[in-house]
Structure 1
Amino acid sequence: MTMPVQGVQHGIAPPTLWICEHCDTVFRRRVLACGEVARCARCDAILARHHRVGVRGMLALVLTAMIAFIQGNIWPIVTLGLNGHLISTTLWGCIVMMWNEHAQVVSVIAAMTLFFIPIFKMGLLGWVLLYARKGERAPGFRLAMVTLHRIGPWTMSEVFVLGTLVAIVKAHMYFDVVPNAGIFAYGVLMLIITAFASIDVRELWDLTEERRA
């Protein structure tokens, strides 16, 4: 079992140490085996986990997520049919429709959590990983890492996919419902986000060094 270490300044962890972000207990760092997870002996919080996916793998996931995101916003999400009339729309079309129907608050929240924040997060993470491939820290690395940590909970693509699937099932009682390619693209995006949930991007602090002037 890893033993706590005393006498380390709060918030500053040498490369050979782990600091629990919940109870501030300090542990000696060691190499984790495949599938192993290091937990705090005091509060049982996760300190670190072994990752099979390296920096290049993370960058590939980000690029794949960007492609799925673009396709999910270009292609229609669902087609509704009633008495021979068909209507289909994209995600952005739904947002504009909600705005025009005087649901501006819902429209803005949907636009932020399903469009602007996800694309900003993917772009920012891609920027950091492009430099991390060479073991370097990108310009603005510290601010980028803090921003990624702050906006992490505000990407709601997986909630959108699950909610849309429930709506399709219920709407099928009244309309002819045909899922379109857009919802499948968002399904792929949800799987990629789920894969990223098991990756701790904070490891980039240890995998990169400050760029030389």
Structure 2
Amino acid sequence: MSLDSTTVSPQPNPSCRGQLLACPECDLLQRAQLSAWHGTLRCARCSAVLVRSRHDSIEHTLALLVAACILFVVANSAQLVTLDLQGSIHTCTLPGAVQALWQQKRELVALMVLVTAILVPGGLLALMLYLLLPLARNQVPPGVKLVMRLLHHIRPWGMIEVLLLGILVAVVKLSGHATVLPGPALWALAGLLPITAGMLTAWRPDDVWLRLGELQK
């Protein structure tokens, strides 16, 4: 088996010492020495990606994560929009919108907004911060396996982009009846989308396991 910093095709070798990997596509078992290695490792049979690693992915993801956390706090604490209806001023925050939907007997919509726009994105950011901050300082946080499993399951349920699209549609419809002024929270949500996309692109679970393996030796 040969490994380098580029895309490689390992050859299975039972005598080779290293981590035993199962191909997610064809289930071929093969061994690779992954310590202190970075690049893309492919299956010897079908060329599916076994491991994709980058030496600075944890630090890169953490930097974007901190920015995302700041924007998320602003998005949930500051004013979302301000409505000026013939001199009557009304302001709204994201949690306030959930409360208003609940009071209007739209419990299902309120729960969907609460879960997909507040709880899941907040939980995702909190779990990643809990995991990556100690790893960046070469420390192992407790419960890593549980945290990684939770991240895998809750990641698809964060739908801030759907919420933002709905807000923009509502603003366009309301603009014919009142003056609509975007608040800091709306701009924070708009900034949160590219930051989160960049964070999830930089996020490489393989690097987390490699770092944990190095720290636990």
TM-score range, shorter chain: 0.7 to 0.9
Q: Write the mapping of 1:138-157 to structure 2, written as runs, cut at 5 A.
A: 138-157=141-160
Cα distance change, pair 200–57 in 1 and its aligned pair in 2 (3 A)? closer
Give the structure 1 partner of residue 118 of structure 2: 115
Which has more radius of gyration? 2
Find the partner of 1:201 among 196, 201, 204: 204
Whether 2:78 is the aligned partner of 1:70: answer no
- Give, in angstroms, the shift of residue 200 of structure 1: 3.4
Find the partner of 1:158 among 158, 161, 164: 161
Q: Match of 1:56, as an amino acid? A: E
Cα distance change, pair 44–152 in 1 and its aligned pair in 2 (3 A)? farther
> Alignment RMSD, CA only?
3.1
- Number of equivalenced pairs: 203
Write the distance in 2 (CA, Å) between the matches of 1:136 and 1:93: 39
1:117 and 1:151 in contact (8 A); partners too: yes
Cα distance change, pair 52–205 in 1 and its aligned pair in 2 (3 A)? closer
Overall identity of the aligned pairs, in %: 30
Deviation per residue, 1:180-205 (Å, 9 max, x gap): 11101111211211102312331201
TM-score, with length taken from structure 1: 0.79
- Give, in angstroms, the shift of residue 63 of structure 1: 1.9
Give the structure 2 partner of residue 57 of structure 1: 60
What secondary structure does 1:208 align onto? helix
Find the partner of 2:97 among 90, 94, 116: 94
- Give, in angstroms, the shift of residue 23 of structure 1: 4.1
* Structure 2 alignment gaps of length 5 or more: 1-6
Give the structure 1 partner of residue 171 of structure 2: 168
What secondary structure does 2:24 align onto? coil
Please identify, of 117-126 and 169-178, the stretch whose mean Cα deviation from structure 2 is larger. Answer: 169-178
Give the structure 1 partner of residue 135 of structure 2: 132
- Give, in angstroms, the shift of residue 101 of structure 1: 0.6
Cα distance change, pair 20–183 in 1 and its aligned pair in 2 (3 A)? farther
Write the distance in 2 (CA, Å) between the matches of 1:42 and 1:177: 59
TM-score, with length taken from structure 2: 0.77
